[in-house]
Structure 1
Amino acid sequence: MQAVLLYTKQWGDATSFEFNVFDNQFATENLAVRKVMMSMLEAVRPRLTELEVEYNDSMLIEKLGVRRAGELLRFLGSTKENTREQTSQGIVVSRSFRSPMTEERYRYFYEMKDIAELPHYRLLEGQEDRIVFYFTRYLQLIAPDQESAEAFISGLQAFSLPYKLVPLK
């Protein structure tokens, strides 16, 4: 198996680990990609307090079907009150919502079979991004301290997942 490339960058005490989907040439449902996601989640698990999801209705319905899309959005905390519409020239291009991170929602992300099931999501600690998936381009962990960064690397090693860290300046 080829090594997973992870681009790293230091931001003060925080370390960003970015898994670029294009550079790694893995499908988003590949087990290696899922192991990266699971390692990211475990590294910051106690810190996660909120979830933000952005989606396009028709794309989500095409991927999941009407019933499953509706069930998933409700499960993740979408309500009429917390959903915002993003428009372009009067047309709704996407919707987004924010909700508390619960144990059940954490489990959903940990057990995802395809990390691109939702097109854009952010798992947060308060207002700070901790894990970001952005439209099948990248999956990013922002480890706030050395302990979280080491926990992420330990998670990759525990999964016997070969990886290569590529520092960015």
Structure 2
Amino acid sequence: MTQEITFTRLPTIDPGLIIAHMSDPRVAKHMPLLTGDWSEATVAEFIDKKEECWRRDGLGHWAILANGDYIGWGGLQKEGEEWDLGLVLQPGFFGLGPRITRKAIDFAIADIRIPFVTFLLPPSRKNRRALDRLGAKYIGEILYDGELFLKYRLETE
């Protein structure tokens, strides 16, 4: 059965679902910036930061739903002058990553403000074939908040 993928705003999601998601060690394995335990206060601060992006830029991270159920968060967020595409899924839904990424890229293609998107991957992510198939080009290693990431860029125009 095909899962219907939809995007909604993060404040509509039960904080307990986000706590469980972000507390999973399989998620933390590929998130070097993820530190500390998640609580209702952590989730509230996280959502406030994501909603600030929406107020400032008119776009930000979404909650991602499969058949109406929360499976993760991600989307397009402005980092400086660039639009970064991030995706953090629950482990049982990692396989939907390419499909969700394609949906977010289609959104970026339709938005004239976004001539390209960037992707920051931790070096722990060994399988990067999906980015190659999309046509993303490797830019190089960068430090972000003191952590090493591999940066890719995909033209959307």
Q: Return the TM-score normalized by structure 2.
A: 0.33
Rg (Cα) greater in structure: 1
Q: Return the TM-score normalized by structure 1.
A: 0.32
